[in-house]
Homo-oligomer: A and B are copies of this chain.
Amino acid sequence: MLNRVVLVGRLTRDPELRFTPSGVAVANFTLAVNRTFTNQQGEREADFINCIVWRKQAENVANYLKKGSLAGVDGRVQTRSYDNNEGKRVFVTEIVAENVQFLEPKNSQRVNQGVGASNETYGGAPADGYGHSNQGGTPNANGTRSAGYANDPFSQEGSIDISDDDLPF
């Protein structure tokens, strides 16, 4: 059924790049989209919209976008649920970006540094329903733009709770 979203906004912080157990890249980011109208106090509010993007585009996002970057997203609305650490079901609505357009002028774009550019929350399962992490070893030691430890044999240590079934293709 028809399900289409188009957004233009700015990243509220650096994107987070992770990998599924089978090595597929996923990036998460939040877009601040300023409203075109003002509220009753005359202020222009914003919507803070969570986005997720897969594979090569995920790596591009991680490498070329950072906090404050202007970006366009073409995708679809997705809902999912997971049980949080208190055993409560949490419902999530987010945008799965199928196409991300970088809208920063060329000269303002810098390739992100490997270390720290995509900051995995080490140690302990993140509370967002994704379990991907990049535990142990030398994370992204290879540096450069694309994601080395996708091939890291140690990446499976500890638990992971995302399986390939979660991939949207």
In the complex, residue of chain B having the shortest beta-carbon distance to the beta carbon of A81: B48
Tell me if A6 and B4 are in contact (CB < 8 A): yes
In the complex formed, the residue of B with least CB distance to A168 is: B37
**Copies of this chain held together in the complex:** 4
For window 12-61 of A, CB contacts with B under 8 Å fall at 33-37, 39-41, 47-50
In terms of DSSP, what is the predominant structure of the interface of chain A? Answer: strand
Asked whether B169 lies within 8 Å of A37 as measured between CB atoms, the reply is: yes
A114: interface (CB < 8 Å): no
Q: Taking the complex as formed, is A117 at the interface, i.e. its CB lies under 8 A from any CB of chain B?
A: no
Instruction: Please tell me if A7 contacts chain B, counting CB pairs below 8 Å.
Output: yes
Given A77-B95, A93-B94, A105-B105, A1 contacting B36 (CB threshold 8 A): yes
Cα-based distance from A103 to B8 in the complex (angstroms): 9
Contact-residue size bin, chain A (C-beta under 8 Å from the other chain): 35 or more
Q: Let me know if A111 is at the binding interface, CB within 8 A.
A: no
A135 vs B4: C-alpha distance when bound (angstroms) = 37
- Asked if B165 contacts A40 (CB within 8 A), the reply is yes
Instruction: Check if A79 sits within 8 Å of B48, measured CB to CB.
Output: yes
Q: A47-B79, A79-B47 are in contact. Are A74 and B4 (CB under 8 A)?
A: yes
A-B contact pairs, 24 of them (CB 8 A): A1-B34, A2-B2, A2-B6, A2-B7, A2-B33, A2-B72, A2-B74, A2-B99, A2-B101, A3-B33, A4-B7, A5-B5, A6-B74, A7-B77, A8-B101, A8-B103, A39-B165, A40-B164, A47-B76, A47-B78, A47-B79, A49-B79, A50-B93, A72-B72
